[in-house]
Each structure stands twice: as structure tokens, then as C-alpha cells.
Amino acid sequence: DAKTTQPTSMDCAEGRAANLPCNHSTISGNEYVYWYRQIHSQGPQYIIHGLKNNETNEMASLIITEDRKSSTLILPHATLRDTAVYYCIRRGTSYDKVIFGPGTSLSVIP
């Protein structure tokens, strides 16, 4: 079975960029990489997704390596409100099960 690996936890100073890595043991050509975050006891919130190219939106940037097995979510100027658990998942075009790993617990420190 394909496995997704993320660091268990990370710290980031307020105002600095937070770079959260994600690795997939395998990823199919039609599978997108999605990032979500979950602030304590709330429903997960969509952040960004991508297939091959790097992506940017108002919340974050997503860097995907050429082999697509690694991606990095970048929060350019982390704030205390960015403290959350961040999940990266693969999501294809078929009705695949959506597999969430344990995610990365990001703590933004004043």
C-alpha cells in the first residue's frame, strides 16, 4: 500500500515562513496532492492542491518535485492562527478511499 510520510511536529517563529514537507511512497499520474489543516476540534480546512506544477493561492504555496513523490507546503508569513495539524493526501480521479495520515502538528511560536 502507498504510504504518506510527514514529520510528526514542527515549530515555526511567528512571521517566518513555515515549510511543511510530505512524501508519498508512490503516486499515480492522475493523483493530485491536496493539503488540509485542522485547528483543534474543528473540521479540516482545504488549503491548496496541485498535480505537477507549483501552485500559489492567498493562503499558501505548494512546491511539487518532478517525480511528484515529494511536496512542500509553504506558509510565507506564519501567524499564531496557523497553529494546526496539517495533512497532505493523494486524491485521484476514481472513487478512491481518501487516506489521511497522522499529519504534522505545526506550532507557531511568538
Partner 1 sequence: KAGVTQTPRYLIKTRGQQVTLSCSPISGHRSVSWYQQTPGQGLQFLFEYFSETQRNKGNFPGRFSGRQFSNSRSEMNVSTLELGDSALYLCASSLLGGAGTGELFFGEGSRLTVL
Residues that bind partner 1 (CB under 8 A): 30-32, 34, 36, 41-46, 49, 51, 87, 91-103
Instruction: In angstroms, give the least distance from the CB of 26 to partner 1.
Output: 16
Nearest to 33 by CA among 67, 76, 78: 67
**Residue 70 CB, nearest approach to partner 1 (Å):** 18
User: Cβ closer to partner 1: 46 or 109?
Assistant: 46
If the CB atoms of residues 95 and 110 are measured against partner 1, the closer one turns out to be 95
Using CA atoms, how far apart are residues 10 and 60, in angstroms rounded to an integer? Answer: 17
Q: Closer to partner 1 by CB, 94 or 110: give it.
A: 94
Report, in Å, the least distance between residue 14 CB and partner 1.
26
For 37-88, the DSSP string reads EE-TTSPPEEEEEESSS-EE-SS-EEEE-TTSSEEEEEETT--GGG-EEEEE
